[in-house]
Amino acid sequence: MKVIIFPASTQTVFGEKIYFVFSVRQVEDIIREIPVSPVPFSPRYLKGIVRWRDCIIPVISMEECLGFDMLNVENANRLLTVRGGDGKKERAMIKTGSGLRMLSLPIPCTPAASSEWIPEKHLVSGVYEWEEGFLICVRIDDILSGTYSQ
């Protein structure tokens, strides 16, 4: 099995970078920046909406969804289209910059001692320490289904 990882546009935690990880089964597309239409009065993590394959898809900042402050917003020039598990139809595009990588499992890592540094930790299914920093697995189904609240 393979996963896609990308660095979060946030400050380091305990001197380590943060990365997000998704299964390749969850990722439908990786595209360059396309025009994003803002949505007035939306939560700060919702960056807008885009038209993709004749569908309207929300564009989110995974960092802000988890309660982190964004850094280098201008470097977020790619959109990762993800969907919920088990063939669910909910989708979102996640703003990301360069640094996307595909890795084969297993990745040598250990469960993190704590996730208390994540403001919205209820949206995280796992945090792992690996040689390059922290890997965060998000509960994308909860985010996509709208059970998210900040």
We report the CATH number of the domain holding residue 67 as 2.40.50.180
**What is the domain count for the chain?**
1
pLDDT tens per residue across span 77-95? 788 899 886 666 788 999 8
Helix (H, G, I), strand (E, B) or coil at 63: helix
Whether the Cβ atoms of residue 21 and residue 121 lie closer than 8 Å to each other: no
The whole-number pLDDT of residue 147 equals 60
Residue 102 has pLDDT above 60, yes or no: yes
Q: State which residues form the domain around 83.
A: 2-145
Q: Is residue 19 part of a domain?
A: yes
% of the chain at pLDDT higher than 90? 51
The whole-number pLDDT of residue 62 equals 92
Question: Over the chain, what is the mean pLDDT?
Answer: 87
For 17, residues 6+ apart whose C-beta sits below 8 A from its C-beta are 7, 8, 132, 133, 134
Tell me the torsion sign for CA atoms 41, 48, 145, 9.
Answer: negative
Q: Is residue 18 part of a domain?
A: yes
Q: Which two tokens stand for residue 95?
A: 């703003």
Task: Give the DSSP H or E segment for 145.
Answer: helix 140-145
| Total count of residues recorded for the chain | 150
Higher pLDDT, 74 or 4: 4
Q: How many helices (H) and strands (E) does the chain have?
A: 2, 11
The identity of residue 1, as a single letter, is M
pTM of the predicted structure, to 2 decimals: 0.88
Q: Which two tokens stand for residue 122?
A: 């209820």
pLDDT tens per residue across span 124-150? 999 999 999 999 999 988 888 766 554
Q: Is residue 150 part of a domain?
A: no
Residue 74 has pLDDT above 80, yes or no: no
Q: Is residue 78 part of a domain?
A: yes
Q: Is residue 115 part of a domain?
A: yes
Q: How far apart are the first and last CA of the chain?
A: 33
The whole-number pLDDT of residue 58 equals 93
Residue 98 has pLDDT above 90, yes or no: no
The whole-number pLDDT of residue 17 equals 93
The whole-number pLDDT of residue 123 equals 93
Q: Which two tokens stand for residue 89?
A: 């139809």
Q: Is residue 31 part of a domain?
A: yes
Q: Is residue 25 part of a domain?
A: yes
